[in-house]
Amino acid sequence: MFTRYAIYYTPASGTPLADFGAHWLGWDSAAGATRPHPDVDGIDVAGVTDTPRKYGFHGTIKPPFRLAEGHHADDLQDALARLCETAQPVTLDALVLARLGRFLALVPAGDTAALGALAARAVQELDAFRAPPTQAELTKRRAARLSPAQDAHLVRWGYPYVLDQFRFHLTLSGKLDKPTAAAAEAALSEHLAPLDLAPYVIDGLTLLGEDAEGRFHQIHRYTLTG
């Protein structure tokens, strides 16, 4: 049914942040349904969010991958469930709006060591389920002018931005020019202001699958209970 799988952090369905993210991006991965964008004067929200929409509102933990030969999605679910049974929730000082290069995202404030350790566990302990990247995938990633450390991670783990290169963020836009980024940042600040994001608890991990059209759907969200 799915071409690739991914392990993300997604806010629990029905929470204010999850509702905001689904409407802002226009795709609810938990429901597998489109959502209407908010009306924002002077901003084409659909255009701003076109690139990240298909992934749904998320923070990457283990990036999208094809299943390795001989492995099955049911086994992947079982392995992720076991990991989450032994991993503790992570409390962040806050989630704050930031510009990362040319795109906007929510990023953690304060110490992120525990979150980095959780992501590293997922990357390493579930890696047997990941098929190696194709040469075309390697070439595409290397077009981003990776550092030697990032290229080594790409070869070993299938993605450059893991382990010591990991930077958690919940993406809110594609690449924007400066005027659009400024306008979108102002609008996002207003929409995010009523949400309680300080402190913020990462309380679960979600397994998602990519459909034939490239959209990601929640398969199951596992609570961290360790």
For the chain, give the mean pLDDT. Answer: 97
CA neighbor of 176 nearest in space, from 55, 45, 24: 45
Tell me how far CA of residue 74 lies from CA of 77, 129, 207, in angstroms. 5, 11, 11
Q: Is the pTM of this model over 0.85?
A: yes
Beta strands in the chain (DSSP E): 4-9, 27-28, 33-34, 59-65, 90-92, 94-100, 103-109, 170-171, 200-202, 204-210, 216-223
Bridge partner residues of 106 (DSSP)? 97, 170
Confidence (pLDDT) at 1: 84
Q: Which CATH number fits domain 4-223: 3.50.50.60, 3.40.50.2000, 3.90.1140.10, 3.40.190.100?
A: 3.90.1140.10
Low-confidence ranges of the chain (pLDDT < 50): none
Query: By 3-state DSSP, what share of the chain in percent is helix, strand and coil, each rounded to 5?
Result: 35, 25, 40
Confidence (pLDDT) at 224: 98
pLDDT tens per residue across span 129-148: 999 999 999 999 999 999 99
pLDDT tens per residue across span 109-127: 999 999 999 999 999 999 9
Q: Is 101 left (phi over 0), alpha (psi -120 to 50) or beta?
A: left
